[in-house]
Chain A
Amino acid sequence: MTLADFVADVAKRRKTIVVYASDGAPDVAAHFESRNVTVERKSLAPGGPDGFVVLRDEDGFVGAFGIDKFAELLDPPLFRPTYRTDVSEPWRSLYEILDNTLFASFGRRQLLGATREIENRAWRIGAGTLRVGFQSVDALAAQVNVYRRLAEQTDLSIHAFVDAGDEAVPVPDGVELFRSEGTEIGDFWFLVYDAAGDPLNACALLAEERSPGIYYGFWTYDEDRVAALSTYLRDGHE
Chain B
Amino acid sequence: MSDDPPDVLGRVLDADVDEDLLRALGTREQRYTLYHLLDHERVTLSELADVLAGWRATTESRVTTGADRSSLRIALYHNHLPQLASAGLVDFDATELVVDRSPLSAEEREIVEAAYLSEHWTGEPVTP
**Identity of the chain A residue whose Cβ is nearest the Cβ of B115 in the assembled complex:** A48
By a CB distance below 8 angstroms, the chain A residues around B92 are none
> Is the C-beta of B61 less than 8 angstroms from some C-beta in chain A?
yes
Query: How distant is the Cα of A14 from the Cα of B94 in the complex, in angstroms?
Result: 31
Answer yes or no: A90 CB below 8 A from chain B CBs: yes
Q: Is the CB of B63 within 8 A of A91?
A: yes
Interface assignment of A12: CB less than 8 Å from any CB of chain B: no
Docked complex Cα distance between A159 and B34 (Å): 61
B112 closest partner in A (C-beta): A45
Decide if B44 is an interface residue (CB 8 Å cutoff).
no
Count of chain B residues near A, Cβ 8 A? 29
CB within 8 A of A52: which of B57, B68, B113, B123?
Answer: B57
Residues of B near A64 (CB, < 8 A) are 50, 53-54, 56-57, 63-64, 68-69
Report the bound CA distance from A185 to B125 in whole Å.
58
Main SS at interface, chain B: helix
**A48 close to B54 (CB less than 8 A):** no
Chain B: minimal CB distance from A216 (Å) = 32
Give chain A interface residues in 27-58, CB to chain B under 8 Å.
Answer: 43-45, 47-54, 56
**Contact between A49 and B55 (Cβ–Cβ < 8 Å)?**
yes
Chain B 66-80: CB-based contact to A (< 8 A → 1; otherwise 0): 101100000000000
Cβ of B26 to closest chain A Cβ, rounded Å = 17
A-chain residues with CB within 8 Å of residue B57 when the two chains form the complex: 52, 63-66, 69
In the complex, A52 Cα to B47 Cα: how many Å?
13
- CB–CB B69/A66 < 8 A: no
Are A45 and B58 also in contact (CB < 8 A) when A54-B53, A90-B65 are?
no
Across chains A and B, the number of contacting residue pairs, with CB separation under 8 Å, is 78
Instruction: Let me know if B58 and A88 touch, CB within 8 A.
Output: no
In the complex, whether A67 has a CB less than 8 A from a CB of chain B is yes
Instruction: Answer yes or no: A20 CB below 8 A from chain B CBs.
Output: yes
Nearest A residue to B38 via CB reads A45
B49 in complex: contacting residue of A43, A61, A65, A68, CB < 8 Å: A61
Which residues of B lie under 8 Å from residue A49 when comparing CB positions? 55, 58-59, 119-120, 123
Structural contact, B66 and A62, CB atoms closer than 8 A: yes
B3 on the A face (CB < 8 A): no
Are A90 and B63 in touch, CB under 8 angstroms? Answer: yes
Within the complex, which residue of B56, B61, B68, B119 is in contact with A48, where a contact is CB–CB below 8 Å?
A: B119
| A18 interface hit (Cβ, 8 Å) | yes
Give chain A nearest CB distance to B35 CB in angstroms. Answer: 6
A224 CB within 8 Å of chain B: no
Is B98 engaged at the interface, CB distance under 8 Å to the other chain? no
- Interface centre among B49, B57, B69, B119, by most chain A C-beta atoms within 10 angstroms, is B57
Nearest first, the 5 A-B pairs at minimum CB distance are: A52-B54, A66-B58, A45-B39, A64-B54, A64-B57
4 further interface pairs, Cβ-Cβ under 8 Å (given A45-B116, A64-B63)? A20-B54, A52-B55, A64-B53, A89-B65
Task: Please name 11 pairs of A and B residues whose Cβ atoms are closer than 8 Å in the assembled complex, sorted by A.
Answer: A43-B39, A45-B39, A47-B117, A49-B58, A56-B50, A64-B53, A64-B56, A64-B57, A69-B61, A90-B64, A90-B65
